[in-house]
Amino acid sequence: MISILRRGLLVLLAALPLMANAVAAPSAHDLVQDTTTRLLADLAANKEKYKQDPQDFYAALNSIVGPVVDAEGISKSIMTVKYSRKATPEQMRTFQENFKKGLFQFYGNALLEYDNQGIVVDPAKDESGDRTSVGMTVKGSSGAIYPVSYTLEKINGEWKLRNVIINGINIGKLFRDQFADAMQRNGNDLDKTINGWAGEVAKAKEATEKSTENQTQ
């Protein structure tokens, strides 16, 4: 009897790490919900400070949102195979960092204008595969409702953000088109395009805002 209990205990101890991993990896829906809740709570507590120092807000976004973003996968997608296979590891690392900075600036400025009008994460969808989407609705200051869809992929057992569609605008495609256009304007100079990515994100943000304004008029 004691030997049976001992073996049972050993099996339980061996399984604990697996159980811990299962608990530690939230569903895609819960990941989006939790990240959104934490982000809005931080914004509510520090909004005035962030308005005075937006860079501090971008750092907070990196801390809260950065870990759930597949920066490597998105960067390769934006550069496409045509350019990513030519990039050195150092160039890819630089672009990943520039991409994240640009992404947080892209969203950060809009979030600073958010005044708790209403954000609701849609009910969970099927997550049995390695790719899923999580929907969200955002109420603007004018009362307009903007649908948001996050695309997530399971990487090493954890869900990571791969793309965002805001009010019908595919941000991944927008950034890909922006990168390809910048490469043409820069004479296929990869370093110039990578180092100037912040300016390209600003152009993409302006294009998105204009498109959203036209759709709500």
| Contact present, 106 and 63 (Cβ < 8 Å) | no
What span, in angstroms and rounded, lies between the C-alpha atoms of 22 and 32? 17
Q: Which helix (H) or strand (E) holds 120?
A: strand 119-121
Q: How many helices and strands (H and E) does the chain possess?
A: 8, 5
pLDDT at 38: 93
- Of 204, 77, 91, which is closest to residue 153 (Cα–Cα)? 77
Could you tell me the pTM of the whole model?
0.78
| Residue numbers in the chain where pLDDT is lower than 70 | 1-24, 116, 205-217
pLDDT at 101: 84
With b meaning 16 or more CB within 10 Å and e meaning fewer, what string describes 91-104? bbebbbebbbbbbb
Question: Helix or strand or coil: residue 108?
Answer: helix
Question: Helix or strand or coil: residue 122?
Answer: coil
Alpha carbon of 206 to those of 78, 173, 179: distances in Å? 18, 15, 15
Six-digit token string for 189: 């100079």
Q: How far is CA 78 from the centre of its chain?
A: 14
What span, in angstroms and rounded, lies between the C-alpha atoms of 22 and 31? 14
- Compute the half-sphere exposure of residue 11: CA atoms within 13 Å on the CB side of its CA: 6
Residue 10: CB atoms within 10 A of its CB come to 10
C-alpha dihedral, 164 to 165 to 170 to 173, nearest 10°: 10
pLDDT at 217: 53
